[in-house]
Each structure stands twice: as structure tokens, then as C-alpha cells.
Chain A
Amino acid sequence: NAGVTQTPKFQVLKTGQSMTLQCAQDMNHEYMSWYRQDPGMGLRLIHYSVGAGITDQGEVPNGYNVSRSTTEDFPLRLLSAAPSQTSVYFCASRGSLAYEQYFGPGTRLTVT
């Protein structure tokens, strides 16, 4: 099992550019989440999904879109990048019968 994978590892964008952060898991987990991590702020939930075709907003959703067309994939889209979106982004997944969330390795995004 590869677990939770994320691409790219690093990305630099200019203000106004768009991009998609990729997240995939091979554990057949129903629940998937996107978090952003900023210094001194902990991990804050951006969007989450409880199954294919079902997504909802978390604590800090503005400026981000998600979709969940398959169980395995949960991409995060930045429509028009802003410097305030400079952060480390983590994807996580969890099975419906367990409690532990498994995190991906993260994507470090810089918006200039």
C-alpha cells in the first residue's frame, strides 16, 4: 500500500494563477480531508468528503474548490492563487469503521 500520496511536493505560483493539488489513497477509505498548516495555527480543515460525490466545507474553504468523483482521489483546486494561500497542505483519509486519520506527505505552496 502506498497509503496517502500527494503531488506535487513543492509548488511556486504567481498571484492569480490556478492549480490543482492532487491527493490519492489506496486504502479504500470513505473519508478524505484537506488541511492547511500555517505557523502557530495548527491544522485547519479546508474541505472534506464522506464519500464519492459528497463534499462539504470545513473551517477555511474560501478560495478553494474540491470534487470527489472516485473513492481514491480528492483533488484541491486553487482558482486564483493569493499570497494568503502560501501554506503547507495536507491531505488525509480515514475508513468509516476506524478512527485513525492517515496523512499524506504534504505539499508546500508558495504564492508570490
Chain B
Amino acid sequence: GENVEQHPSTLSVQEGDSAVIKCTYSDSASNYFPWYKQELGKRPQLIIDIRSNVGEKKDQRIAVTLNKTAKHFSLHITETQPEDSAVYFCAASKGSGGSNYKLTFGKGTLLTVNP
């Protein structure tokens, strides 16, 4: 089955700096890669996702890049703010219908933004 590796497990940055979290996946058939943010005691919430037909997607201060050849994808957060502090999870799936919709998650990155 799919295996998703996520690095680093913890990341501490100063407010205003950029943060980058990287993930690799093993199944070349995976084609959907979401990123979730989870604040302490809350549910995971989707912040951005990318499908394998594009290489990069941006939403304000957040961007995701995908390298299908190398089977890795990354989350980039620019101009970090204290409210960005949370655990971030990457995930992968084959995306389409039936049992292919299942997500495999990385183990998470605890991002701390210091004021």
C-alpha cells in the first residue's frame, strides 16, 4: 500500500519567516495530495490540495509544489504568523472513486511560529 513520509517532525521559525514541510510518497498511482492543519484539540482542516496534473498551487501565503517524477510534494508558508502554529499533515490518495479515495497520512509536523 501507499507510504507517506513527512519531514521535519518539528519546525520552529520566527514570525515573518518562511516554513517548508516536505513529504514523499511511494505509490506512483497516487494523484491527489492534500495538506491539513490541525490546531490543538481540534479536527484536521484542509488548507490546500493539489492534483497530479499541476506542479504548483498557491492560495495567498500558502503554496504546494509537486514533483511526480521524484514522488515528493511540499508545503510552503510565507510570512508566517503566530496563528500558523499548529500540526500540519500531508496525505496522498489515488483520488478517484471507489476505494481509491482512501487517504494515507504522513505523521505530521508541529510548526511553532515565535513572535
Contact A99 B95 (CB under 8 A): yes
B25 CB, nearest partner CB in chain A, Å: 13
Report, as a range, how many residues of chain B touch the other chain. Answer: 20 to 34
Kindly list chain B residues whose C-beta atoms are within 8 Å of the C-beta of A43: 44, 89, 103, 105
Report yes or no: A56 in contact with B107, Cβ–Cβ below 8 A: no
Looking at A56, A59, A94, A101, which has the most chain B CB atoms within 10 Å of its CB?
Answer: A101
User: Do A33 and B102 touch across chains, with their CB atoms under 8 A apart?
Assistant: yes
Residues of B within 8 A of A59 (CB): 1, 104
How many A-B contacts if CB must be within 8 Å?
A: 55
Contact partners of A44 in chain B: CB under 8 A: 105
- Asked if B61 is an interface residue, CB under 8 A from chain A, the answer is no
Q: Which residues of A contact B106 (CB under 8 A)?
A: 42
Tell me the minimal C-beta distance from A93 to chain B in angstroms: 10
A44 to B102, CA, bound (A): 11
Q: Which residues, 42 to 97 on B, are CB-close (under 8 Å) to A?
A: 42-46, 49, 51, 89, 95, 97
Please tell me if A53 contacts chain B, counting CB pairs below 8 Å: no
**What CA separation (Å) do A99 and B97 show in the bound complex?**
9
Shortest CB distance B90–A (Å): 9
CB distance from A72 to the nearest CB of B (A): 18
Cross-chain contact B49 with A100 (CB below 8 angstroms): yes
CA distance A50 to B108 in the complex (A): 26
Is A58 located at the chain interface by the 8 A CB criterion? yes
Asked if B43 contacts A103 (CB within 8 A), the reply is yes
Determine how close the nearest CB of chain A comes to the CB of B44; give it in whole angstroms. Answer: 5
A101/B43 in contact, CB under 8 A: no
Q: Which residues of A contact B (CB under 8 A)?
A: 31, 33, 35, 40-45, 48, 50, 56, 58-59, 90, 94, 96, 99-101, 103-106
Residues of B within 8 A of A (CB): 1, 6, 9, 32, 34, 42-46, 49, 51, 89, 95, 97-99, 101-108
